[in-house]
């Protein structure tokens, strides 16, 4: 059993787990808008070169049967997706010229996969 909180080949990303491995979209959005653009860039620029490898690794698991270390990696990838637009398009943590993110409430839903 690994002592790492992420799969071993991604242990170099573990410094981001406590901050960015967030389980819900609401948590990820709150983290994005409460971060500085510099903090978002550090996370983005570290994860981006690894995304192809992360996707290939995660594709071996079904969403409903993912080991805990892979789930943390999946949560990091989802946070990356939340941050990517802010860094690559907006140039700031929140969407420019739009309602402030804290004025919007996103309802969490659980979608169960169809039986195979």
Q: Is the pLDDT of residue 29 over 70?
A: yes
Read off the pLDDT of each residue in 13-32 and give the average, rounded to a whole number.
Answer: 94
Residue 76 CA to residue 47 CA, distance in Å, equals: 8
Note whether residue 60 is domain-resident.
yes
Residue at 27 is within a domain: yes
Do 79 and 23 touch, CB atoms closer than 8 A? Answer: no
Query: What pLDDT, on a 0 to 100 scale, did the predictor assign at position 7?
Result: 96
Cβ contact 87:36 at 8 Å? no
State pTM to two decimals.
0.80
In a domain, residue 5? The reply is: no
Whether 116 is in a domain gets the answer: no
Cβ-contact 79, 34 below 8 angstroms? no
State which residues form the domain around 19.
Answer: 12-103
Sequence-ordered list of residues with C-beta below 8 angstroms from that of 13, at least 6 positions apart, any chain: 6, 46, 47, 50, 73, 76
Q: Say if 112 falls within a structural domain.
A: no
Rounded distance, CA 93 to CA 15, Å?
21
User: How far, in Å, CA of 22 to CA of 28, rounded?
Assistant: 6
pLDDT tens, position by position, 33-74: 999 999 999 999 999 999 999 999 999 999 989 999 999 999
Residue 90, domain member (yes or no): yes
Number of domains in the chain: 1
9 against 2, higher pLDDT: 9
């Amino acid at each position: 059993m690994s002592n790492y909180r992420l799969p071993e080949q991604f242990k170099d990303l573990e410094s981001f787990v406590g901050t960015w491995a967030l389980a819900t979209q609401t948590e990820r959005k709150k983290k994005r808008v409460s971060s500085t653009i510099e903090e978002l860039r550090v996370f983005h620029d570290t994860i981006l070169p690894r995304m192809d490898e992360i996707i290939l690794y995660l594709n071996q698991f079904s969403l409903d049967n993912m080991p805990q270390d892979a789930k943390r990696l999946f949560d990091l990838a989802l946070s990356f997706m939340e941050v990517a637009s802010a860094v690559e398009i907006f140039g700031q943590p929140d969407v420019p010229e739009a309602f402030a993110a804290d004025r919007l409430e996103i309802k969490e839903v659980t979608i169960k996969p169809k039986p195979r």
